[in-house]
Amino acid sequence: MRQIKIIYVTLLSIFILCAQNAIAKEYEVPPTSSTRGHVPYISDQAMEVCIKLYNEAKWLDKEISNTQVNQYSQASVDAYNNKVSHHSQMINDFNRNCAGKQSESAYKAAQKLNNK
């Protein structure tokens, strides 16, 4: 009976964590700075890619922050380092291709991604 309770609590915990991740993943428009002067515009299609990159990097950052690394397991350390490396690459891509740029309908691009 005790084993059944442990299994039930474990499954319930996993379900709750999965539900939180599914609910929390809604695309939002990256923040824009209020600079004066010329702000480069990109196409709506390029902005959709930027919104996707921004949000996926944000979600990966949250996942990295919540990751428990077993320092005695090389596989665990490698998996964590791979996530960090991937996140760093995503941020570099966003900064190079998206930061400081605007599109005519960034909000519509985010809505389109949320409806997929």
List of residues 6+ apart from 40 with CB closer than 8 A: 100, 101, 102
Q: Is the pTM of this model over 0.75?
A: no
Task: Give the three-state DSSP class for 41.
Answer: strand
Residue 27 has pLDDT above 90, yes or no: no
Report how many domains make up the chain: 1
User: What count of other Cβ atoms lies within 10 Å of the Cβ of residue 113?
Assistant: 15
Domain that holds residue 59: 2-114
Question: pLDDT tens digits for 44-99?
Answer: 889 999 999 999 999 999 999 999 999 999 999 999 999 999 999 999 999 999 98
In the structure encoding, which two tokens stand for residue 62, read together? 């949250």
Q: What is the structure's pLDDT at 17?
A: 54
